[in-house]
Every structure is written in structure tokens, then in C-alpha cells.
Amino acid sequence: MASTVRRLSRITGLLNGSKVLKNRQNLATFIASQKARYLEAVKSSKGREWTVVMGNESAVQDLDSVACSIAYAWLRSEVDHQPSVPYIQCERGDYSLRPENLHALRLAGVEDPSSQLLCATDLASFKPFPSTDFVLVDHNRLGAQFSQDNPDARVLAIVDHHEDEGLHTDADPRIIAASGSCSAHVAKLLPEDIPAELATLLLSAILIDTSGLRPGGKATDIDRAAAEKLIPHSTLAASQSLAGPELHDIPSVAELAEILQTKKADVSALSAWDLLRRDYKEYTYQPAWLENSPQLRVGLATVPLSLKAWAKGGVLESEGVRYMDDRGLTVLGVLTTFRSKKGKHKRQMAWIVRELGGASQSVDVDAVASRLWEGIEGSDLEAAPLKKFKPQLRDEAGHIHIRVYKQGNAKATRKAVAPLISKVMTPKM
């Protein structure tokens, strides 16, 4: 793609002449400063004066959410001069579960994210949530914990690449469009004079979500345009040649993509418990088709290993049920993604539906399970029973149900499964 190389060269040549934002802090200083100032405001009951920018509700947020939160908070604070803070929805001790995040943050100059970034641990003692203004990136529904006993909670802006849930329609901007990475949408909003650390962080998120921008993958034109904008401003431009027939063939880009993917794939040191919470998202539904319309929590965990590799011998059941107890779940779906010995990409699913111990509302788990099996087996996931993995738990009417599937449609990620479960739980009448 000669035109791409020419554009990159042209942009690189313009860097010295571009308009520079004055008195700019480096990214690490900005993050730590915003956190300190925000916490001081919260302690002084002035948290409402700040905007909280946050990614999706994973137990341990992926790089896309982290990068988008930081970048949009930087945009509002440094360009729009609105006090804003990136908020990472995970506990302080959980950063180590995402080594790819740590690597990308270090490249961006953030050496100690557990202390520099505002996270859930920092605000655990504040009830209700101490701010009312939010920006949502990498998702488009404000979590119940932010609006509970917080009637003035409002969503000012949304930038996302998931299915539009039709909420917060007065957000401005409200950008919800398909792309491999949400960071691509955020990058488009940034001024031309992007700090190198921020450009590198967003580029890292795009690369890891699009398999290095390789053709035939998840990359869209939006992702490629964003990468083309970011690369000349990133630390890659300062250290190596930008020559290459395609973006993904630029040596420094390909090398960074490979490093990030390798770090993401290495989960050898993680326990089954860690694997369940490492890449996890949670959803709340109130199905009208169940008696008394109880509130149900559904969790979806993505694990980059086959069930046989990490969950045999009753581990799926023991750790799955323990995790459900910890999160208060009625339904847990474990979505595995891995490659066979011959290198073929495969997916499996395990689902547990159970009566929640000590629940204030009784739930007809038999009805939930029946509806779930029907929705999964009748969908384009191409789910079929996984005969080589036998669950240790037996179904018990009124208490627990469990099924495992091989997923014929290996291209269907959690982005496809989550909307399906939403339709199962809250079908349009």
C-alpha cells in the first residue's frame, strides 16, 4: 500500500510544524495528578464537579477499555478543559492478570498503574458513587452501581463499538459503530498533536484487538485509518522505519503486535479462579416471563484455553459455582477460545444455571435453563454437545443445570454471545 507509506511520511514530516498544546504534562504525570485531584475533591464532597470516564464492566478491564478511558479523559481535561479522570473498573491487585496491559502502559510511560490509575479499590468506601457525570467508552450502558442512590447520574458522552442498547440518547457525542477496537473511534476524536505516549497506548489497543491489523481479521477501515493517524506520533516512529507495503507489515508495528499477543496468550501462571475473572463481563436482566420478574445476574467469562486444559476433574464446577456465589450470579457462561494441535481456531462453551443461595427472590432456574438451552442451540453459534468433556455435576431440578458445547461458529465472540443472551432474557414482545 504505497499510498499509506506516502501519507505516513507526509504526516511525519509535518510533526515539527504541528501546533503543540502548551504546558502539557507527560501521560503518567497527567494520570497520577488527575487521580490525586479527584480523590481530594471526593473527600471534600466535590466529586460532582468532575467527569468520570470509564470502560466496560469487566472484572479486569482489557487494554481497549483502559486506553480509551485514559485517552478520552485526557481529551476532556487537556483540550476541552473539563476536569475528568479515567476510572478503571477493577481491583488494585488485579492488574497483574493482564500482562499485555502492563506492557502497553509501560510503553506509554505508566510504570505503576496500580498506584497511578484510579480504580475500584480507591472508591470502594464511597456510597453512593461520589460523581454524577460519566463518559462511557467501550460500552454504552451505565452500570447500576453508578446510578444506585445517585438520582442525578447522567451520561455525557459515549464512544463504543458494541451493539447499541438504545440508552442515554442525549449523550454528545454518542458514537456507537462497529470496529475492531473502540480505541480507533477515540483516536479519531483527538487533535493532530497527539502525545507520543497516548498515541502508543491507543495503537497498542488497536493492534491487540485486530490481530495486528492483518487482512481477514477484525480490522475495519476505521481501525486502519486510526492506526495511520497514530503511528507517526507514536514512539514507534521515533525508533524505527515506517517502511512497509501495508500497515501490518511495518516492522515496528508487526513486532509490537506480536509481543502484545504473546503476553496476552500466556496464562500459564493463572489459576482457574484467575482465568474466570481475567476477561469477564456481567449483565443484569429482569425477565418479565418469570414469575415476579426477579432480577438476574448473568456473567460471561472468556478463557483462552480449552475446557480440558484447565477445567477437568470437577474444576469447572467447583470454581464456577464459587465464582457464581462471589458475584451473585444465576447464570455463568464460560466461553473458551484456543487452537488445536493442528493450529485450527476452536471455541467451546460451558453454561451453569443455578439457584442462588440466600437469594431474597426465588428464581425458577428450570425455566431459565430451558430457555437458555433453546436460545443457544437454535442460534447461529452452531452449538453442539461437547462429548469429550463430561461435567461432574448432575442436573438437579429446581437447583442447578449445566451444559457444555462445542461452538461450530468459531468467529462468534462474546460480542455475538452477549446480544443473544440479552434476547433470551428480555425478548421483544
Sheet containing strand 118-119, strands side by side: 118-119, 84-88, 51-54, 133-137, 154-160, 174-176
**Alpha-carbon distances, residue 173 vs 132, 198, 226, 361 (angstroms):** 18, 21, 18, 39
> Is the CB of residue 76 less than 8 Å from the CB of residue 38?
no
> How far is it, in rounded angstroms, from Cα 238 to Cα 59?
35
Q: For residue 111, count CB atoms less than 10 angstroms from its CB and return exposed for 0-12, middle for 13-18, buried for 19 or more.
A: exposed
Output the nine-digit C-alpha cell for 144. 447500576
pLDDT at position 239: 57
Helix (H, G, I), strand (E, B) or coil at 240: coil
- DSSP secondary structure letters along 284-314: EE--TTSTT---EEEEEEEESS-HHHHSTTT
Which residues does 34 contact at the CB level (< 8 Å), separation at least 6?
73, 77, 83, 84, 85, 86, 118
Residues of the chain with pLDDT under 50: 1-23
pLDDT of residue 16: 35
Element (H, E) at 281: strand 280-285
Share the mean pLDDT of the chain. 90
Query: Could you tell me which of 354, 347, 380 has the C-alpha nearest to residue 298?
Result: 354
Q: Quick one: pLDDT at residue 96? A: 86
C-alpha cell at 291: 414469575
Contact 234, 109 (CB under 8 A): no
Q: What does R_g of the chain's alpha carbons equal in angstroms?
A: 22
pLDDT at residue 77 in the model: 98
- b/e sequence 282-317, b meaning 16+ C-beta within 10 Å: bbebebeebeeebbbbbbbbbbbbbbeebbeeebbb
DSSP state for residue 152 in the 8-state scheme = T
User: Residue 286: how many CA atoms within 13 Å on its side-chain side?
Assistant: 6
| Global confidence as pTM | 0.81
